[in-house]
Amino acid sequence: MTGTATQPVAADRRRSVLAGTMLGVAIMAAVDEIVFHQLLSWHHFYDRSTPDISLLSDGLLQTAYLALLVAGFFWSADLHRRGTLAPRSARGGFVLGLGAFQLFDGIVDHKLLDLHEVRYGVDVLPYDLAWNGAALVFLLVGGLLLRRSRDEGRTRAVRR
């Protein structure tokens, strides 16, 4: 640590965005599991119409989200420790990640893999529109934040 503190280091924007995105995807996956599966019981653990190959894909994806959560957390901590974390870029990546998961879940998990619907026993169309609409809003806000944080890596690098 002593060695890094004395010399100026450039913020690592690319890694910060990536770490933020990883956390965003993983946190939204956790929200999906905790809120929609456990608390609301809208999503079902198993849908009788789901083919086995979808179940396998889902198993792999769920474990991958866990890996993203832990990797994103330790990766951010490492960037912070090195003094190269670009916080605004990381936040932009985080919101982008939230939207990326939401859209992927809404299109791939709910429709292509046919794992489960947003909610059962209701007309699912408004729910699907709200679900994927929310995803687009997250993506838009994330993209905007990333645009506005473009200077982050540069200024400090110039100062060096």
Site for another protein in 73-112 (CB under 8 A): 73-75, 77-79, 81-82
Q: How far is the CB of 144 from another protein (least distance, A)?
A: 26
Which of 72, 93, 100 lies closest to 145, judged by CA? 93
The only residue of 31, 40, 41, 62 in contact with another protein, by rule CB under 8 A: 62
Q: How far is the CB of 125 from another protein (least distance, A)?
A: 27
Give the span between the Cα atoms of 13 and 103, in whole angstroms. 25
Give the span between the Cα atoms of 13 and 50, in whole angstroms. 41
Q: Rounded to 5 degrees, what angle do the CA atoms 154, 158, 160 make?
A: 125
Q: How far is the CB of 149 from another protein (least distance, A)?
A: 19
Contact between 45 and another protein per CB under 8 A: yes
Contact between 63 and another protein per CB under 8 A: yes
Give the span between the Cα atoms of 65 and 21, in whole angstroms. 12
Give the span between the Cα atoms of 65 and 59, in whole angstroms. 10
Binding site for another protein (CB under 8 A): 1-4, 15, 19, 22, 45-46, 48, 50, 52, 55-56, 58-64, 66-71, 73-75, 77-79, 81-82
